[in-house]
Amino acid sequence: MQRAQPIEQILYISTVSPRETVDLPAILAVARRNNDADAITGLLMFNGKRFLQVLEGPQDAVERTFERIRRDSRHRAQVVLARKTVEQREFGEWSMAYRDRSHRDGAEIVNDICSKTAAANPNLRAELVAFARQLQE
């Protein structure tokens, strides 16, 4: 029997390009459409200056998607913080969850990220929670 393709997970940060007015609803609409079609799940956070994104799914699809995202001129200085193969998805229920500073619900964001990432690797979880905390500042 053929083994299922491994699930690859990429966590990266990037910086919004100078003079770029970020149209997040547009980015999210395209991301969700493509990610649904490619069985990619994940999380995108934006603090007004930096993006933090987790992409996970079949290896080929994640590589292809990340290559497209890397070339996107709306952001720059993409730095991969973690790249690994996981046994199962850690963000399975999110086609591309999203949080930014307009989520003024403060502690609720941090709690949400904490509970949704309970199964995630502790280092990855710490990165996400720290970024989510920054959104409150």
Ligand X SMILES: Cc1cc2nc3c(=O)[nH]c(=O)nc-3n(C[C@H](O)[C@H](O)[C@H](O)COP(=O)(O)O)c2cc1C
> Which one of residues 96, 97, 128, 132 is an interface residue with ligand X (CB under 6 A)?
96
Residue 64 found at the interface with ligand X (CB under 6 A) = no
Residue 53 found at the interface with ligand X (CB under 6 A) = yes
Per CB under 6 A, contacts with ligand X among 16-45 are: 27, 30-31, 34-35, 44
Our CA dihedral for 74, 31, 14, 123, rounded to 10 degrees, sits at 180
Residue with the two structure tokens 């007015």: 21
Q: Taking every pair of C-alpha atoms in the chain, what is the biggest distance, in angstroms?
A: 52
Residue 62 found at the interface with ligand X (CB under 6 A) = no
Instruction: Provide, rounded to whole angstroms, the least separation between the CB of residue 1 and ligand X.
Output: 31
Gyration radius from the chain CA atoms: 14
In this structure, which amino acid lies at residue 64?
A: R
Instruction: Provide, rounded to whole angstroms, the least separation between the CB of residue 69 and ligand X.
Output: 4
Other Cβ atoms closer than 10 A to 68: 11
- Residues near ligand X (CB under 6 A) are 27, 30-31, 34-35, 44, 51, 53, 55, 65, 68-69, 72, 74-75, 96
